[in-house]
Amino acid sequence: MKKAMILSTALVGLVAGAAQAEEVTVLSWGGAYEKSQVEAYNKPFAEATGIDVNMEAADNPATPIKAQVEANNVSVDVADVEKSDAIRLCDEGLLEPIDPDTDLAASPDGTPASEDFIDGSFTDCGVANIVWSTVMSYNSDKVDGEPTSIADFFDTAKYPGKRGLRKSAKGTLEFALMGAGVPAADVYKELGTPEGVDKAFAELDKIKGDVVWWDAGAQPPQLLADGEVVMSTAYNGRIFNAEVAEGQPFKIVWDGQLMDFDFFVIPKGAPHMEAAKKYLKFATETQQLANQAKWISYGPARKSSAPMVGMYQDGKTEMGPHMPTAENNMQNALVNDSEFWADHDTELSERFNAWLAG
Amino acid sequence: MSDATMDASLNGPEPTQLKTADGLPLKAALAKSQLRAKRRAFLLVAPLFLFVLITFVVPIGQMLLQSVYNDGFSKNAPALGQWFNEHPLGSPIDESAYTALASDLKQMKENRTQGEAGTRINYDVAGTRSLFTSTARKIERLEPPWKESILGVNEGWSDPNLWRAMRSASSPYTVDFYLAATDHTRDKDNNIVPVDPQRAIYGKLFIRTAILSLVITVLCMFLAFPIAHLLASLPLAKSNLLMIFVLLPFWTSLLVRTTSWMVLLQQQGVINDLLVWSGLIGNDNRLEMMYNQTGTIVAMTHILLPFMVLPLYSVMRTIPPSYVRAARSLGATSWTAFRRIYLPQTLPGIGAGALLVFILSVGYYITPALVGGADGQLISNMIAFHMQKSLNWSLAAALASMLLGGVIILYWLYDRLVGIDNMKLG
């Protein structure tokens, strides 16, 4: 009797499994960001193709991928990872190669995908979906005047008050160089030379006594709101949220913004390879990328999506000007160079930490 | 069986060779019967033993191994490994070396392992990871002579220090990560030299970690002693109530406690506001009590205080009050009675608490990360950095092993000085 029941349960399970064969598992970051993906990619995808999308969240989706592929037990079909991880996982042979021309859709006006994405949107096995940015922001209640450039961040004589900076070499040194007047385009060239590194640290020395160092992305809005700092570097989505959703008097200075990408990748041995490729193609289409910007202020990586970005979910905030990729915000923008940091992270972090401790 | 044994031992012809009834020597028979009991006993503890083995011994052993073993380069560069075996240090880097390099790069390109190999070399010589990835990308289009064509892709390959690093990485076993963890490196002739003083960080952090932990331990000791004494001398009903005040923070999430301290201590925080309001300090020179060492010490002392109070309390509870009363009645002053009678009896509690607090604070990570600012960082923050960000697990393992070694030495010293039997954990 019992045996029969087990058997029949197993059979039902099998049948159910067969019926639901068309599905795809996407691993992302949770929170408001995941919500934007569910609304903009998953729901229309299920509607258009009949393939169910399972959304899963991880602290960093790159971590389980390495473990899964190495154990030959992959459950994820598509993952959303940071660019540096996309490069690293690809180098280690853990990802499916992706060819922009065959695996991605062209834009509505026929521009092939390989030309429609912002520079740096492709690696051999991944494609960028959004652009996020680390920006300089300030509390307009606590700052007299209106800072306009990244150099103002390092000028405590002109704008007195504490500064918030991320406690890491990555990011901070770029801001220091741009603060010292190096144009965004030359930052990594300079940072590759000993003189450039010295220059960055000399710039940091100017404000060392006035810096509050932060680690987690939630800290800068808090520090700004508490008045603990008057200016801070921060992730643009967090400042947008504090500004628009919570009504804080925060302002973003887009000069010297440090952009980075999030990537869609497909792990080697993904269980639903066909569906995964379909999802990747669908989600990175012009319209879908434009739609996700409605839910969070991270910019679409596709050039043709930018003009289609509409209103925030509150129905009255125009999202366009809040995007890191908006033309006005891109005047002096730096794209994070993952290759550079893969090479120099250890060396510069050691020097940075020694400088901090000294 | 036991009767037979007795008989044999009583009536046996040779008292030196005792035998059982079935002719087995007594010793063997005893061992045999005990073996079963032993086996049963072992089976009983086997789950626990396995648990300890799997969750404790194996991970720590793996960590220790990782600190001296890294095959990221050696397993991907067999041809270079062979070349290094055949050519001792100091041989000119000639065409044969570049031929080996080319063959390995081709293999890496095929297996997509150039990143792994490059990362391993990059630990040693900064800026070389991209040499591997960029050259492997082009290797199929290159042709002999290899030296010329590879140097044509990137001049960086001629760096003698890079070849020294590849030579030392061609064996998976290495002590280089311990060198790095003590602020040392090797020059191009394989001599051990200190790193550029601008990059020397680990020694400084180890010392700071030890000093801060010591300060926190001493502070905890002074704060916990009166609390524990009060708890121990009050009637049980009252002391249980007060105990809640010790335990409640102990049960509260670590992050909540840390962030509450941030609310209290920051420059726009409660304490500063009160001081300004009461006119003790001006609005312009608010005290800096957070995002520096002060913040780390205050928050960690509070968080670790229960680990000192609890062992002290459990020891003090067992000290009969009559001892101190007897000393007083024999003419001792209250200070003498405390110093000569009470304090020595609390030593096991002090020792246990101090050891606990010190060892916990040596490995503390999240609190210094949140409230430590620039100069409140500890060595554990660097270990976390190498585990999570730089992914140099071998260096993280080397640093962690050194920390573990330090703690073990401390434990040994404690055992020699105080005696571990005297420790009472509660």
pLDDT tier, B327 (very low <50, low <70, confident <90, very high otherwise)? very high
pLDDT at A10: 47
Of A93, A344, A351, the CB nearest to B111: A93
Question: Nearest-CA neighbor of B224 among B365, B349, B361?
Answer: B349
Place of tokens 């209250």: B334
8 A C-beta contact, residue A310 and residue A319:
yes
Do the beta carbons of residue A45 and residue A283 sit within 8 Å?
yes
* Phi and psi, residue B270, nearest 5°: -60, -50
Q: Using CB atoms, which residue from B130, B133, B373 is nearest to A213?
A: B373
User: How far is Cα B92 from Cα B87, in angstroms, rounded to an integer?
Assistant: 9
Q: CB count, 10 Å around CB of B274?
A: 11
Strand partners, A53: A24
Domain A134-259+333-357 has CATH 3.30.420.40: no
- Looking at residue A302, the DSSP 8-state letter turns out to be B
Residue B70 and residue B394 in contact, taking contact as beta carbons nearer than 8 Å = yes
Cα distance between residue B402 and residue B396, in whole Å: 10
Residue in chain B closest to A198 (alpha carbons) equals B198
pLDDT tier at B236 (50, 70, 90 boundaries)?
A: confident
DSSP secondary structure string, B69-121?
B--TTGGG-HHHHHHHHHS-TT----HHHHHHHHHHHHHHHHHT-HHHHHHHH
Report the chain B residue with the minimal C-alpha distance to residue A216: B370
Point out the residues of chain A with pLDDT beneath 70.
1-21
Using the Cβ of A93 and the Cβ atoms of chain B, whether some distance falls under 8 Å is answered with yes
Give the residue extent of every domain in chain A.
24-131+261-329, 134-259+333-357
Instruction: Find the CB nearest B268 among A227, A343, A353.
Output: A227
Tell me, what's the pLDDT at A18?
Answer: 44
Structure tokens, A193: 């030379």
> What SS3 state is found at A149?
coil
Residue A179 is encoded by which pair of tokens? 């603060």
Q: Nearest residue on chain A to B136, judged by CA atoms?
A: A91
Distance between CA atoms of residues B70 and B77, nearest Å = 13
| Interface probe with B: pick from A343, A351, A356, most Cβ of B within 10 Å | A343
The total of other beta-carbon atoms located within 10 Å of residue B190's CB is 12
Closest CB to B200 among A168, A215, A354: A354
Enter the DSSP assignment of B171. Answer: S
Contact yes or no for B198 and A357 at CB 8 A: no
Closest chain A CA to residue B117: A92
Residue B3 has pLDDT above 50, yes or no: no
Chain mean position to CA B17 = 54
- Give chain A positions within 8 Å (CB) of B270: none
Which residue in A106, A29, A79 sits closest to A279, CA to CA? Answer: A79
Cβ distance A159 to A224 under 8 Å? Answer: no
What is the rounded distance in angstroms from the CA atom of residue B62 to the CA atom of residue B204?
A: 27
CB contact under 8 A, B199 and A350: yes
Tell me if chain B has a CB within 8 Å of the CB of A339. yes
| CATH no., domain B202-422 | 1.10.3720.10
Residues 6+ apart with CB under 8 A from B87: B96, B97
Contact yes or no for B119 and A342 at CB 8 A: yes
Would you state the pLDDT for residue B9?
47
Residue B163 has pLDDT above 90, yes or no: yes
- Which residues touch A314 (CB under 8 Å, ≥6 apart)? A244, A245
| Best CA proximity match to B232, nearest among B322, B314, B347, B349 | B314
Question: Tokens 């941030």 map to which residue?
Answer: B262
Per the CB < 8 Å rule, is A346 touching B126? yes
For chain B, the domains span 2-68, 74-194, 202-422
Q: Test A346 with B123 for CB contact under 8 angstroms.
A: yes
Q: Which residue of A has its CA nearest to B76?
A: A92
**DSSP for residue B20:** -
Chain centre distance of CA A256? 17
Please name the residues in contact with B374: beta carbons below 8 A apart, sequence gap of 6 or more: A167, A208, A211, A213, A356, A357, B291, B292
Say whether A134-259+333-357 and A24-131+261-329 share the same fold.
yes
Q: Which CATH class is domain A24-131+261-329?
A: alpha beta
Q: Does B259 touch chain A (CB under 8 A)?
A: no
Mean pLDDT calculated for residue range B344-356? 90
In the block, tokens 């304490």 appear at: B271
Query: Would an 8 Å CB–CB cutoff place B374 in contact with chain A?
Result: yes
CA distances to A99, A271, A277, A278, A280 from A24, in Å: 20, 8, 10, 9, 10
Q: Is the pLDDT of residue B301 over 90?
A: yes
Contacts of A228 in chain B (CB under 8 A): 266-268
Subunit contact B204:A357, Cβ cutoff 8 A = yes
3-state secondary structure of A27: strand
Tell me the two tokens of residue B407.
């703690």
Cross-strand bridge partners of residue A261: A131
Instruction: Compare all CA atoms of chain B with the CA of A350 and give the residue at the minimum distance.
Output: B199
Q: Which is higher by pLDDT, B333 or B290?
A: B333
> Taking a C-beta distance cutoff of 8 angstroms, is the pair A12, A64 a contact?
no
Nearest CB neighbour to A215, from listed B119, B208, B370: B370
The reported pTM is: 0.78
